Amino acid sequence: MKVQFADCALDVGARRILRKDREVHLSPKAFELLVVLVERRGDAVSKTELLERVWPKVYVSDASLARVVTELRDAIGGREARDDPDGARPVHTHLSHSPGPGLNGDRDGLALIAA
């Protein structure tokens, strides 16, 4: 699968991502996270689904998940978007503060959305 988004080109088969025509290094987990988000582009992906798809049968702390999300955002242009209020953010985080299930029935209240 090959996908273009923002100023990035993702080639899943080659496990390669280019940003502004330069290869970007991602850890294996950050790459897997990106693939999940691209596959579900425009949809909220719950924390539970992310953990099941990227870290199956492994306990992952919230800090570890946050580190991989930050790595991914920084690699594909999230840092510039944070610094520019009008910039488009390729990965959005949605926190649900209501009691009970959050997005997609997830009880943890966290979902990521790939724009």
Indicate if the alpha-carbon torsion angle 20, 26, 32, 34 is positive or negative.
negative
Pair 75, 26: CB distance under 8 Å: yes
Which residue pairs, CB below 8 angstroms and at least 24 apart, start in 54-61? 54/29, 55/29
pLDDT digit string (tens) for 26-58? Answer: 999 999 999 998 888 878 888 888 899 999 999
Over the stretch 16-34, which tens digit does the pLDDT of each residue have?
999 989 999 999 999 999 9
Residue with tokens 């090959």: 2
Contact in structure between 19 and 7 (CB atoms under 8 Å): yes
Q: Answer yes or no: CATH 2.40.30.10 is held by domain 2-114.
A: no
Least confident of 18-32, 62-76, 87-101: 87-101
Q: Are strands 16-19 and 44-46 parallel, antiparallel or unpaired?
A: unpaired
Domain spans of the chain, in order of start:
2-114
